């Protein structure tokens, strides 16, 4: 396992490489997302967080995942269109990715290793905060709204 998140790479929703090292020096909120979930309206709060803090160095990274009751069944193109059209999402999105279990992306295995059980996604819109140096800082459960005081405070402290 790597010492920090910057060693890991996702595929972007458009198929390009998306190395987390490109976010070195920035704070990253990694969120597994789904288009057909009761929590999908959190996209609004995530975009607002990104809009409010991007100039200070925050990146929100959406990780579409179909592991929770098949709530992200679409193709990457459908997901991208849904996010941009319905929620005006401007933050980066990865390709569909597994976030739990044996097939979990290595970043998620690393985060669990770093933060323990709280970093294991139990549902869509689970959030993991990564510091400027790539350290795993904190995990937030799916029902914690993106603009909740505890998330905003953790982001501000990390910035």
Residues marked as catalytic: 37
Instruction: Please provide residue 79's backbone torsions phi and psi, each rounded to the nearest 5 degrees.
Output: -65, -50
Give the separation between CA 84 and CA 94, rounded to whole angstroms. Answer: 14
Q: Which residue has the tokens 């990253």?
A: 28
Q: Which residues pair with 18 in a beta bridge?
A: 10
Instruction: Please provide residue 157's backbone torsions phi and psi, each rounded to the nearest 5 degrees.
Output: -65, -35
- Mapped onto helix, strand or coil, the DSSP state of residue 98 is coil
Give the separation between CA 110 and CA 104, rounded to whole angstroms. Answer: 10
Count the alpha carbons within 13 Å of 63 in the hemisphere toward its beta carbon.
28
């Amino acid at each position: 396992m790597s010492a920090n998140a910057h060693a890991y790479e996702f595929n972007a929703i458009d198929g390009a490489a998306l190395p987390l090292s490109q976010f070195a020096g920035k704070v990253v909120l990694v969120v597994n997302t789904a288009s057909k979930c009761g929590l999908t309206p959190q996209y609004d709060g995530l975009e607002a967080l990104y809009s409010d803090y991007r100039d200070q160095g925050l990146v929100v990274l959406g990780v579409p995942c179909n592991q929770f009751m098949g709530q992200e069944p679409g193709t990457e193109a459908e997901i991208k269109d849904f996010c941009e059209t319905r929620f005006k999402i401007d933050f980066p999105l990865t390709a569909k990715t597994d976030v739990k279990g044996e097939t979990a992306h290595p970043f998620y295995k690393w985060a669990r290793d770093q933060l323990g059980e709280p970093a294991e996604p139990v549902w869509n819109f689970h959030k993991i905060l990564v510091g400027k140096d790539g350290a795993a800082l904190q995990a937030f459960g799916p029902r914690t709204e993106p603009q909740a005081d505890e998330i905003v405070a953790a982001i501000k402290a990390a910035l």
